[in-house]
Homo-oligomer: A and B are copies of this chain.
Amino acid sequence: MADWQRYLDDNQGRFLDELFDYLRIPSVSSMSEHVDDVQRAGDWVASRFGKAGIENVEIMPTGGHPVVYGDWLHAPGKPTVLIYGHFDVQPADPFELWTSPPFEPEIRNDRIYARGASDDKGNSLIPILAAEALIATTGRLPLNVKFLFEGQEEIGSPQLPPFMEEHRDKLGSDLVISADGSQYAEDQPGLYIGFKGLCAVEVDVTGPDRDLHSGLCGGAVQNPIHALAGILDSMHGADGRIAVDGFYDTVAPLSEADRRKIAAVPHDEEEYKRWVGVDELFGEVGYSTIERAWARPTLEVNGIWGGFQGAGVKTVIPSEAHAKISCRLVPDQDPDLIVEAIIRHVVKNTPPGVRVDVRSIEGNAPPYLMPADHPGNLIASEVLTELYGTAPYSIRSGGTLPICSFFRDILGIYSLNFAFALEDENFHSPNEFFRLASFRRGQRAYVMLMEKLAERGL
């Protein structure tokens, strides 16, 4: 057994204790009341970098949630990789649906339950532990490594682009390795080569200047909830297609080769239904479930509210109604142009008698697709094949890692996605968890990847 493997084995108890500490910090980047917690999580990461033997550790300001940087650059002639992760998490509500509190991690059935367990605290702690094992047992790393962990991924990394522009030289490298993402299954690796882009809008509909008595004014004024329902309903056809003018204009059609690659990945429709908890699936006509989820753009209303939500009856015509909408985009959609198309659609479909305000909210990210034959992908593929005993599927995700597009568009570097969550782990939902087995396997995988990248070059 390699020394690093023994080191990893000997230290799993401590690593778990550390992960628990990390998970206890409610670093919700989208909520202003948690801004100090995001900072605390960054402090925790900086301190953990240092403990692993990573050098030149800095907490760097971005104007918003900070970035934590560190490096180990003593392998002249070897490639330089930049390992990426994030220490912020999604909001945890609705709290009442969690079996154990989201910020009090608990192990049940060899799984760690907590908000951020898989996305991305557990996942991103892995490469730090791999580096520590190598430095502790060999005194060095086999290649040059920069670490860049951020605190605003869950809100679309709004300040990362200017940050990257400013620190172009410091961040320069041959390949980004992102520790934010998934494998395909417990016994089947996957290389995620594509992520959807993202944009989001909020729609605010205003009618009367206060809530009105539905008896006195019912029928005589436009009800903002009726108006909003009409606006939202106009955005999809009964065939599941998005009915916003221009929405599909720049979508790169799925080639027959793309569709074959997607069809090659096993998919059990009944199991999928059980997993999401529905009796019947629904989506855009003419595409399979996986094509819809991985390779077709979507428009989803994420939240709606207006008027009386309490128990019983309150017979008002509300003054206002609101909705939050986000879209997942595929090559070659431009998030800014899609937001403009949605704004035009909302304005055009607003009925008489109400005012509407519709505006972009944070989080725009372009879609991302990495060449399947990129050397980073090929080497990672070998490592995963060795570890799992089977070659990875080349797949796409419907999720968004805006950071991949930023690295590509600003620094000219592709991102290899090398991470160990699994898609059933409830990230962004109550009862998020991370498998202990993935936590351990990931550490080994990162050591092997660093060694192989050093040996083969990029």
Contacts and interface: CB of A to CB of B under 8 A. Distances in A.
Copies of this protein chain in the complex = 2
A218 interface: yes
A282 B91 contact: no
A219 B195 CA distance: 15
A204 to B, nearest CB: 12
B304 A219 contact: no
Interface string A196-211: 1010100000011111
A351 to B, nearest CB: 7
B215 A400 contact: yes
A77 interface: no
A215 B311 contact: no
A362 B156 contact: no
A217 interface: yes
Interface stretch (A106-114, A231-239, A407-415): A231-239
B317 A93 contact: no
Contact of A223 (B94, B216, B300, B305): B300
Nearest to A297: B219
**A32, A220, A232, A311 — most chain B CB neighbours (10 Å):** A220
Nearest to A307: B303
Contact residue range for chain A? 35 or more
A207 to B, nearest CB: 6
A363 to B, nearest CB: 5
A216 B302 contact: no
Contacts of A95: none
A272 B220 CA distance: 10
A429 B211 contact: yes
A215 B196 contact: yes
Nearest to A327: B218
Interface stretch (A9-17, A42-50, A288-296, A382-390): A288-296
Contacts of A300: 214, 218-219, 223, 226, 315, 317
A214 to B, nearest CB: 5
B222 A233 contact: no
B308 A215 contact: no
Given A215-B397, A398-B217, A282 B363 contact: no
A257 interface: no
A318 B309 CA distance: 16
A218 B398 contact: yes
Contact of A225 (B94, B232, B317, B363): B232
A265 to B, nearest CB: 14
Given A209-B277, A292-B220, A351 B214 contact: no
A229 interface: yes
Given A155-B312, A303-B316, A304-B304, 14 more contacts: A31-B311, A207-B278, A209-B276, A209-B278, A214-B328, A215-B328, A216-B293, A221-B276, A225-B303, A233-B233, A312-B362, A315-B326, A315-B400, A316-B428
